Every structure is written in C-alpha cells, then in structure tokens.
Amino acid sequence: MDTLATPRTALITGGSRGLGRDAVLQLARAGWDLVFTWNRRADEAEAVVAAVQALGRRAVALQLDAGDSRSFPAFVAALEQALAATIGRPRLDAVVHNAGFGVHAAFAETSEADFDALLNVHLKGPFFLTQALLPLLADGGRILHVSSGLTRFSLPGYAAYATMKGAVEVLTRYLAKELGARGIRVNTLAPGAIETDFGGGAVRDNAQLNAFVAGQTALGRVGRPEDIGGAITALLSDEAGWITGQRIEASGGMFA
C-alpha cells in the first residue's frame, strides 16, 4: 500500500502483541503514526515502539486496562499529552478496538465473573472509550471494531465471547449512523482462526486443531497475524472511504 501523503495517527488498543502488534507495524509501513495500548508487558510495548521508530514513524505506548471504564478519563488526558508531545498532532484519525481475551467454556459452565470480564473488555470498554475519545477523533476519521468469525458460525464453548462480539457488530451499525454526519466511518473486521497466542495459542500450537481449521478453510490454511494487519490497514485507507456500517470477515473462507 502506498505511503500516505499526509501523515495520520491511529490509536490501537492491545497493540503490543498478536494481531494488534502486526496492525501497528503494517500501519507504520503505510505512513501512519501510532498510539497503542498495552496492559501487562511493558517490555513488549517498548519493543513495538522501537520497531515503529525503525520504520521512520512516531509511536507512543500507553498502559490501559480496556475493561476498566473508570480509568478512561485519565487515559484520554494522557493521550492528549502524548499526541502533543510525541506525535505532534492533536487529533486521532482512526481508532481500532482490538484489545481482548477469550474464555472457552460450555454455556452451562460459564461463570458470571467470566461473563462480566468479557462484557467489560469487549463491549462496555469499546462503547465508553469511543464516547470518551469523540472530542479527539477528527472529522472524516475511522473507527474499527475487531470482532470474530464466531458471530457467523457457532463452535461449542464460545457462547459468552461470541455474544459480546455480536453486540459490538450491532454497535458498529449504530455508530456509523450517528457519526456519519461528521464523516466518520465505522466498521467491524471479523477474523477467523489466527495463529497467535490468543486463547493460550491453541490454534498456533496444537497441530491437530491447526489441521482441522485449515481443512475447513477455503484457502487451505489457518490465518496469520499479517492477514489481519493487512485487512485493518486496508479498511483504514482512503480507498475504503465508501465503506461504513459493515461487517467484513477476514477468515480465508473458514466454514464457507
């Protein structure tokens, strides 16, 4: 993808590892400056900042618990300072809600604590973080929610997780409608099974599971982080400027 003529700034939650890390690096290669969040591993975040800088772009890593909405005002204040001091521009051009975790449990065995944790990170967090970020998001900006192929196909053990992602897909359509007057595009990207450490790295590390998924995927393999980072970069580009309120699945045709 061609480098941007005018640099832009994206915020990606959960950008220090996995899909978020790859998206940060691919956006940097496309000419974006990045602010990304991390939760537990400062060393991983610092490594991603260094990698972005090596690509000639600016980067800031900010700590955030995406499931703690009480922390959002302080986070936004820190974000404003970082934009001024490091990025050199006061507005965000894109927000990517990527932070998340999975719980694999049968419906009958899903605890209320796990349900609430999923709710806070995957639904309440994006809802109220976007609300808090609206003054910093430029007109004509983009919001992208990372969902899951599990909202289209059903696999036992993911009822609670998929329920949250399904709600986010509904939220996407409402935000597209309500923010359209500002020229803000809002979409959902739904990955299929990807080789990362998500869910304990089962898709990546369990050869039997990897082979099963590959056998159920039209393109004949499991997804890789760069497949999703590339899709995120494409959806944030000007070339995707007439796409809003949509769910786009990037699964290689999993269970097609």
Q: How far is CA 148 from CA 53, 123, 230, 246, in A?
A: 30, 13, 16, 14
H helices present in 150-194, as ranges: 159-179
DSSP 8-state assignment for residue 17: S
Helices and strands (H and E) in the chain: how many: 9, 7
Residue among 242, 175, 233 at smallest CA distance from 22: 233
Task: Kindly give, in sequence order, each residue whose CB lies less than 8 Å from that of residue 100, ignoring residues fewer than 6 positions away.
Answer: 14, 66, 121, 122, 146
Can you tell me the distance from the alpha carbon of 179 to that of 183, in angstroms, rounded to the nearest whole number?
7
C-beta of residue 142 within 8 angstroms of C-beta of residue 95? yes
Catalytic residues: 161
